[in-house]
Amino acid sequence: MIQFDKRLVSKKELKSVCGIPYTPQHIGRLEAAGKFPKRVNLGPGRVAWLMSEVDAWVSERIAERDTPSHETSF
């Protein structure tokens, strides 16, 4: 089976395929802050993201959740 390392996902697919629950505006803010993978400009009004980079970003979020950090008392 061929693996597609360069598979692109659209704005809609970020939510439907990747499970990213953010609005396009919030994705833009995260990108501008360097906290989300950079988009690939495909042409006028068309952008996409590399699936492998989005998947790595999600994996980092999971790793952060699972990494014990300093305890906070409530």
The per-residue pLDDT for range 26-68, each reduced to its tens digit, is 999 999 999 999 999 999 999 999 999 999 999 999 999 988 7
Cα–Cα distances in Å, from 6 out to 14, 46, 62, 67?
Answer: 15, 17, 23, 29
Domain boundary assignment for the chain: 8-65
Ramachandran angles phi, psi of 8, nearest 5°: -105, 145
- Go through 42-58 and write b for each residue having 16 or more CB atoms within 10 A of its CB, e for each that does not: eeeeebbbbbeebeebe
Higher pLDDT, 23 or 68: 23
- What value, to the nearest 5°, has the Cα angle with vertex 22 and ends 17 and 23? 105
Alpha carbon distance 23, 5 (integer Å): 25
